[in-house]
Structure 1
Amino acid sequence: MHSSVHNWRTSSYSAHGDNTCVEVGDLHGAVAMRDSQHPELGHLTVPVPEWTAFMVAIRSGGL
């Protein structure tokens, strides 16, 4: 069954004008990521716990 992504949001880092835009969207129990310049190429799906750990690592300077 294919779940549709809702609420695509552009990364805050995309506001710097360098054309490297990443969007994230909500899925049931997961987060989707895609290249905003090529959304037709699809998206990468990451379970919420892994996404949360990724964000914690970024915010703490671990990545």
Structure 2
Amino acid sequence: MIVIDSGPLIAALNIRDRYHEACARLLQTHPEPLIVPATVWIYCLKWSAITSNTFQGAR
């Protein structure tokens, strides 16, 4: 089990982020549960609303 912060989530959603591919792959293939605190979800939602032109959504 891993507690995940906003960095990997935002990188996975932002196709322009230099770590996009690695983070998206991690989120799709990690064999154990990933715990995302509520405050991290809120931050990511706010980020996606502000930068909707690069927001792709989860694949």
Q: Same fold (TM over 0.5)?
A: no
Specify which structure has the bigger relative contact order, considering alpha-carbon pairs within 8 angstroms and separated by 6 or more residues. Answer: 2
Q: Which protein is richer in helix relative to its size? A: 2
Q: Which protein is richer in strand relative to its size? A: 1
TM-score (norm 1): 0.32
| Larger Rg computed on CA atoms | 1
